[in-house]
Structure 1
Amino acid sequence: MTQSHLFAHRVGLVGLTQLAVGLQGLILLPILTKNLSIENYGIWAQIMVTIGIVPQIALFGLPYTMVRYIPAIEKKDDLQETFYSIFSIVISSTIFSSIILYLFSEKIANVLFEGNLLVAQILVVIVFFECLILFFINYLRAKQYIKKYSTIMLAKTLLMISTIGYFVFSGYGITGAVYGLLLIDVVLFLILTILVYNDVGFAVPHFHNMKEYLNFGIPTVPGNLSSWVVNSSDRYVIGILLGASSVGYYSPGYSLGGIVRMFVSPLTFLLPSILSENYDKKQIENVKHILGYSFKYFMIIAIPATFGLSILSKPLLTILSTPEIAEKGYLVTPFVAVSMLLFGAYAITVQIIILEKQTHIGGKIWIIAAIFNLVLNFLLVPYIGIIGAAFTTLLAFGFSFIIAFIYSSKMLPFDMSLRPILKSLFSSSVMAIPIILYEPTGLYNILLIIALCAAIYFVLMYALKTFMDEEILFFKSLIHHR
């Protein structure tokens, strides 16, 4: 199997996995919004936001450091030294972070969770396991164990839906949902521990190259924190200024628009290790080839998705949540969908900066974007509500992509032709006409119009000769490859 076929197969496998993970959020959305109060759903959204940020800060960027360095390691002794050197720091920082969260749990409960101290205390334990799970997942990523990764993520998806659904339907409310989340984390932690230990074995680390690893990882922390500010702090700001109920109105629309991000997830998962391997072997043309095709096909898929989700936001939210949430939150989706489109473009172009080990540049980009985003949120949210938060998110992601593009173009330019993008924009505009004219309601009608519009889009893209002959041959060979 050629490298191109292998990469495409892995993208497909991870893509299907990410699709399942994305559907998890959509399946849980009606379960939670229709069975919890709007305030408790807002608390749930705050919990998920908090789980997303703490590991990114507490782990000093070391899980991602593994993804950069481990692919080039061939000897088992070197692998053990690298893994356990990093793991020793990770477990220490995880314990320290959990203690800090516990000490401030009462204040966190009052600010974010409407005074629910029990939820805040359970969250401390969840964060502990989430940090270690993130570390182990990134080991699978670094070793390119795609089937194991996909199996774990699919198992997590099924556990999330079944366990949280059980607790909520049984009447245990937000507390039951949080206990369910903790139970899932414990199970995943045990499974991952066994998988990773069987692969790595055990060795006492001597902390060789630890300075280099920290020099790579630590500069990513401000960027991760700032990226979180741009991605998620809007819910904190809304919660502080407008209350948990407004977070409950905002989050479903944000989640729907966030589906666009799902299309770049396979690439952000696979590209770092694959590009690092090629780059370290001086195979620069391979790097450019992979980046060029990644950018082109992300745009070809994400642009029509952005159009469709934006126009169908209100009827989709009516099905997935409640009419009240749909009425108050549907305008959030278009802003977030375009934001995620820009994030996807950023996530591909920034790979060059990472390959050059200039992680401080990404950090600076997100720091500026975060300050800009946070200031605008506090200025706009009190006056124009949740739409103000969605608008500032769009501006921040746009800024991040533009600056990353400027830097990466100077380091290692690759093909980012505008022609396929313009063809996609035209085809998406034509595709949107039946949606606007028909105004579908109900799940069956929406699925029918989506199928029709997808057919219109790809027929137009083919007629406009968006796909080169060698690309068509490649995908045909991919389908029939054994």
Structure 2
Amino acid sequence: MDQYKLFLQRMGLIGTSTFLVTITGIMLLPILTQNLSIQDYGVWTQFQITITIIPAIAILGLPYTMVRFLSASKSRTEIQEAFYSILFTVIFASIMGAVALYILVVPISHVLFNGNVGVGLILPLTVIMSALQLVFVDYFRASNQMTKYAVFTTLQAYMVVIFALLLVLMGRGVVGAVTGILITQTLISLIMFTFVLKQIGFKIPRFHNLRQYLTFGLPTIPSNASFWVLDASDRYIIGIVLGITSVSYYSAGYTISSLLTILTSPIYTVLLPILSQFYAERKIRETRFLLNYAIKLYLIVAVPAVIGLSILARPLLYILSTPTLANQGYLITPILATGGLFFGLYCIITQIIVMERKTKITGNIWAISAILNIILDVTFGYFLGIIGIAIITLLLYLTAFLITVYYSLNYIRCDFYVKFAKKTIYAAFFMALSLILLNPYGPVNIVLSGLFSFALYIFVLWLLKGIKTDEIKFFTGMIKESLVNVYCALRGL
């Protein structure tokens, strides 16, 4: 039972960190939309998308591989060999990608950045630093150093806000904003590498197991890039088919729906290292219990989150952006939030396939999804605009989840709590009704209404015996403990 408590503690820590990271996107929204033109905000969005997908390809799935294989490693020599083999390979691959981007900087700038070559020139270096940062944060994840993982990811997000704000207010425009990202990633990568050196030292790798790592990691590229395939690529296509202004509308609604990652990220981040230890020791019963536990925990909070974000999207966007963006962007938030719910369930179930080292399955799922996404986005985007593209995203997330469930049940059978899910939906109906009746506007009213409606949801769920009093007390204590841990970690860094 100690492992399950540890899982909850780590998840609470990462959940707090994810919340702090996610709200930086909310902080940046008014800073950028009120100081940049709608076109330049679209350029910022395209830049962020690009530094998501290109490093995801350049790292060759290796940091994710490191989490799978290093979680059960005890030998310092093994850890050194694996880490530096992966690090050097990623450096080489990311530099090759950066060189290609530099050679093609002019056409890329015209296609993606509205002709802003200055932004295009910053892209290659940012890609290199993004790839390195992924290696370092996944090292801390693989070695179960979740406090450092949480602190560094949180620190990175707030440094971006600070540097982007300063450079935009200095009149540097969108070029200054993206320069803030590059400065932040460089500093954070140097700090993290210093910590790694203190822990394991330095060693020139012999690349003994690189072939094994690549065999595991390469098929995960489509899966690990799924965030881009079904979300970020949408904005590329919107920019080409509907124009850069529509990218801004879509991004505004997406920013609100992305708050759902506060729930998905901690479970996804913490689950694999612990499951890998259980599975390596052939503790199948414990593995199944933890998977089921994660599904139920996710459903408790994800269902009301989708309802709350869907109803509060418009008033939130009125506060955080401009009336034009709010009136256009809020329409897609319910669709994308529902898709995010299924993606969160996928992130839990796919751990079974990863533990079985059947990563070709997930690779094939997302490769097919990517092709369908492009074809359907162009078609539905042309006829239905950003709403059609959001619907396609939802359908592809749902399909990926169902296919993954089909394959995973061949290895470990999970309980999806159908009866419990019905209770959460029933309780969420009362939550939705209360929010509609309250119709909040303004920051204070929105926060108070959200807290009241969520408390009502928990109360109804408790009446339906979907959650017990002891569980409520336990989770409340865990949240308090996690907040204290993050505060202490930030003070001691």
47-56 or 413-422: which moved more?
A: 413-422
**Code of the aligned partner of 2:375:** V
Aligned counterpart, 1:346:
346
Matches within 5 A, 1:354-369: 354-369=354-369
Q: Which residue is 1:45 aligned to?
A: 45
RMSD: 1.7
- What SS class does the counterpart of residue 331 from structure 1 fall into? helix
Alignment of 1:82-101 (within 5 A): 82-101=82-101
Pairing of 1:88-237 with structure 2 (within 5 A) = 88-225=88-225, 227-237=227-237
Q: CA deviation at 1:228?
A: 2.1
Q: What letter corresponds to residue 32 of structure 2 in structure 1? A: L
In structure 2, the residue matched to 1:74 is 74
1:225 and 1:23, CA in 2 relative to 1: closer, same or farther beyond 3 A? closer
Amino acid paired to 2:337: A
Larger mean CA deviation between 429-438 and 34-43 belongs to 429-438
Q: Residue 346 of structure 2 contacts residue 400 of structure 2 at CA under 8 Å; is this kept in 1? A: yes
Whole-Å Cα distance in 1 between the matches of residues 444 and 468 of structure 2? 35
Cα distance between partner residues in 2 of 1:208 and 1:377: 43
The match for 2:35 is 35
Q: 1:449 to 1:336 in 2, by over 3 A?
A: same
Equivalents in 2 of 1:183, 1:339: separation in Å?
33
Normalising by structure 2, we get a TM-score of 0.95
The answer on whether the counterparts of 1:261 and 1:341 sit within 8 Å (CA) in structure 2 is no
Corresponding residue of 2:330 = 330
Which residue of structure 2 lines up, in the alignment, with residue 307 of structure 1? 307
Please give the alpha-carbon distance, in whole angstroms, between the structure 2 residues aligned to 1:111 and 1:184: 26
Report Cα offsets for 1:378-405 as digits up to 9, x if no partner. 0011121111111111111011111011
The AA in structure 1 aligned to 2:13 is L
Structure 1 residues 14 and 477 mapped into 2: Cα distance closer, same or farther (>3 Å)? Answer: closer
SS in 1 for 2:71: helix
* 1:443, distance to aligned residue in structure 2 (A): 1.5
Decide which moves more: 29-38 or 215-224: 215-224
SS at match of 1:330: helix
Contact 1:335–1:394 at 8 Å: present in 2 too? yes
Deviations 1:327-366 (A, max 9, x none): 1111110111001001001000100000000000001111
CA distance in 2, matches of 1:461, 1:386: 35
Q: Give the corresponding residue for 2:23.
A: 23
Aligned-partner Cα distance in 2 for 1:473–1:8: 14
Assess, with a 3 A threshold, how the Cα gap between structure 1 residues 160 and 119 changes in structure 2: closer, same or farther.
same
1:440 pairs with 2:440 = yes
Give 1:71 shift. Answer: 1.1
1:238 aligns with 2:238: yes
2:372 corresponds to 1:372: yes
Letter in 1 for 2:296: K
Shift of 1:278: 0.8
C-alpha separation between the residues in 2 aligned to 1:473 and 1:311?
28
Cα distance in 1 for partners of 2:18, 2:132 equals 21
Measured against aligned partners, the alpha-carbon deviations of 1:169-191 in whole angstroms (never above 9, x if no partner) come to 22221011111111111111110
Task: Single out whichever of 36-45 and 402-411 deviates more from structure 2.
Answer: 402-411
Find the aligned partners of 2:108 and 2:456 in 1 and give their Cα distance. 50
Aligned-residue offset at 1:225: 4.2
The gaps in structure 2 that reach 5 residues or longer are 486-493
Whole-Å Cα distance in 1 between the matches of residues 480 and 329 of structure 2?
44
Give the alignment's TM-score, normalised by structure 1: 0.97
Report whether the alignment pairs 1:62 with 2:62: yes
**Per-residue Cα deviation, 1:241-296 (whole angstroms, up to 9, x for no partner):** 12111101110101111111220100111111111011001111111111111111
Give, in whole Å, the separation in 2 of the partners of 1:477 and 1:312.
28
Cα distance in 2 for partners of 1:119, 1:199 equals 37
Call closer, same or farther: CA 1:225–1:301 in 2, change over 3 Å: closer
Residue 454 (str. 1) matches residue 454 (str. 2): yes
Amino acid at match of 1:87: L
AA in 1 matched with 2:204: V
Q: Is the 2:67–2:138 Cα contact (8 Å) retained in structure 1?
A: yes
Matched, 1:271 2:271: yes
State the partner residue of 1:253.
253
CA distance in 2, matches of 1:448, 1:387: 30
Deviation at 1:82, TM superposition (A): 1.2
Deviation string 1:432-452 (CA, Å, 9 cap, x unpaired) is 112222322111221221121
**Contact 2:18–2:261 (CA under 8 A) maintained in structure 1:** no
Aligned-residue offset at 1:415: 2.2
Q: 1:226 to 1:33 in 2, by over 3 A?
A: same
Partner residue in 1 for 2:490: none
Q: Which moved more, 1:189-198 or 1:226-235?
A: 226-235
Identity %: 41
Matches of 2:48 and 2:97, distance apart in 1: 17
| Residues 200-236 of structure 1: CA deviation (Å, up to 9, x unaligned) | 2112222222221111001112333455221211100
Cα displacement (A) at 1:38: 0.3
Aligned partner of 2:489 in structure 1 is none
* Contact 1:314–1:326 under 8 Å retained in 2: yes
Q: Distance in 2 between matches of 1:241 and 1:445?
A: 38
Q: Secondary structure at the match of 1:40?
A: helix
Matched residue, 1:282: 282
- 8 Å contact from structure 1 (residues 227, 370) kept in 2: no
1:450–1:479: structure 2 CA closer, same or farther, 3 Å change rule? closer
> Secondary structure at 1:66's aligned position in 2?
helix
* SS of residue paired to 1:211: helix
Query: By how many angstroms is 1:475 displaced?
Result: 4.4
Cα pair 1:5 1:478 within 8 Å, conserved: no
The one-letter code matched in structure 1 to 2:244 is A
Distance in 2 (CA, whole Å) between partners of 1:448 and 1:302 is: 19
Counterpart-to-counterpart distance in 1, 2:211 and 2:465: 51
Q: How many residues align?
A: 482
Contact 1:373 1:392 (8 Å CA) reproduced:
yes
- 1:411 partner SS: coil
Q: d(CA) in 2 for partners of 1:477 and 1:152?
A: 24
Counterpart code for 1:36: L
Give structure 1 stretches of 5+ with no counterpart: none
